[in-house]
Amino acid sequence: MKKLFILTVLFSALLITSCRPKDPAILKVFVRSATNQLVNGARVVVIGDQQSNPPTLEFVDTSYTNSSGFTTVDMDQYFNTSGEENTTGYFDILVKSNNKEAAGYTRCRINTTSVETIYLPN
């Protein structure tokens, strides 16, 4: 009877953990001016760094910051195509607003939200 109880508990635990939904992989980029003000409408381009170690696969996505000065990039689109063994990616971030440009770099992991802040020059 004790063995049956233990097997039931183990099976239930396995079933519960396998059905748990996965968190999405998201990159959240804040864009700030040189005076630390959040910038609305800045173009943000995220590019996979193929020179990283381990190399990141090809990836490019463009979005624009909202009125709160940030944009989110759905990184699940990268991780869904990169394969199960690839759980980390390295990305260059290019930002342009009016005539000002800035760059940044980030690491994203599967099922995690990564946050970066890019400052535009004067």
Beta strands 100-109 and 113-119, pairing class = unpaired
Q: How confident is residue 75, by pLDDT bands cut at 50, 70 and 90?
A: very high
Q: What type of residue sits at position 40?
A: N
Q: Tell me: the pLDDT tens digits for 13-59? A: 555 555 556 889 999 999 999 999 999 999 999 999 999 988 899 99
- What is the rounded CA–CA span in Å between residue 26 and residue 4? 43
Q: Tell me: the pLDDT tens digits for 79-116? A: 999 888 889 999 999 999 999 999 999 999 999 999 99
Q: Which residues contact 8 (CB under 8 A, 6 or more apart)?
A: none
The pLDDT value given to residue 68: 96
Looking at per-residue confidence, does 3 or 59 come out higher? 59
Domains of the chain and any CATH numbers: 23-119 (2.60.40.1120)
Among candidates 67, 71, 65, 63, which has minimal Cα distance to 42?
A: 65
- What is the rounded CA–CA span in Å between residue 121 and residue 33? 7
Looking at per-residue confidence, does 7 or 121 come out higher? 121
CA angle 50, 51, 53 (to 5 degrees): 100
Mean pLDDT (whole number) for 68-85: 93
Signed CA dihedral, 104, 102, 117, 75: sign only: negative
